[in-house]
Amino acid sequence: MSTAPTIYISNLRLDYKNKPVFSELNTSFTGGMFNILLGTSGVGKSSLLKMIAGLLPITQGEITSDHSEALSSQISYMAQQDLLMPWTTILQNVMIGSKLRKEKKEKTRALHILKQVGLDGAANQFPFQLSGGMRQRAALARTLYENRPVILMDEPFSALDSVTRSKMQEYTADLLKGKTVILITHDPFEACRLGENIQVLAGNPVQIYDIPPIEGTIPRHPEALNLQQAQAHLLNLLIEKNILQ
């Protein structure tokens, strides 16, 4: 059994103020892989991620994994905003989980992770002193410090310029190798660059569309022919099936 679990969604329902967003949702996110979730705005992607993270209650249906440990203890959740604490340094931000759990801080490991994301020079700086891309890398470092087998990422690179975004995609693919990643994006190119398993959440009633797998290891090179073709296929499929209308 993989240490990075597969996650199963069974007959899941989401309501806000007694209005259904989705119901009878069934899918799975493969263990140890990059699972990409695309979808129409407002279809419920962020809410689904929060339900998996245990941040939203489940009223109907189930979220389970093929691991005996409770899913909630295996998850690190990286929100759309970097959520860095403005009053403390980048190093302290990376180790914030230890502080909140009243555990010993692992400074050497945190510094090593900051080096891995190219931020060793920024350890003693405050978030306001960093660029958007650096802040995102700091948030990624904090996620890596938690060292959980499941990583949930909600549009982690949406606010970045295209070059920084491309670099972040590479860091993320390398550093999260072997973990179960669920990453939400609106960008078909990002989906094809990083996706080992791509799904689209869309329609009325809301359903899951599986996208055929793309060959090659991730991160796929921006110039790779199969990446260009996969992106064109995905766009075509979304338009043909009217999925993202």
The residues binding ligand ATP (CB under 6 A) are 16-17, 21, 39, 41-47
Rounded least distance, CB 101 to ligand ATP, Å:
27
Q: How far is the CB of 203 from ligand ATP (least distance, A)?
A: 12
CB of 46 to ligand ATP, least distance (A): 3
Q: Which is nearer to ligand ATP, 45 or 165 (CB)?
A: 45
Q: What are the CA-CA distances from residue 73 to residues 33, 76, 117, 137 (Å)? A: 19, 9, 25, 23
- Cβ closest to ligand ATP, residue 98 vs residue 185: 185
Six-digit token string for 3? 């240490």
Q: Are 233 and 70 in contact (CB under 8 A)?
A: no
What single letter denotes the amino acid at residue 164? T
* Distance separating alpha carbons of residues 58 and 164, to the nearest angstrom: 36
Strands 60-65 and 75-78: unpaired
- Number of Cβ atoms within 10 Å of the Cβ of 162: 11
Choice between 39 and 188, CB closer to ligand ATP: 39
Distances (CA, A) of 150 to 110, 129, 179, 220: 19, 30, 6, 22
To the nearest whole angstrom, how small is the minimum distance from the Cβ of residue 41 to ligand ATP? Answer: 4
Please tell me whether residue 53 adopts helix, strand or coil conformation. Answer: helix
Is residue 4 within 8 A of residue 151, CB to CB? The reply is no
Pairing of strands 7-16, 19-29: antiparallel
Render 105-139 in DSSP notation, one character per residue.
P-HHHHHHHHHHTT-GGGTTS-GGGS-HHHHHHHH
Determine how β-strand 60-65 pairs with β-strand 19-29. Answer: unpaired
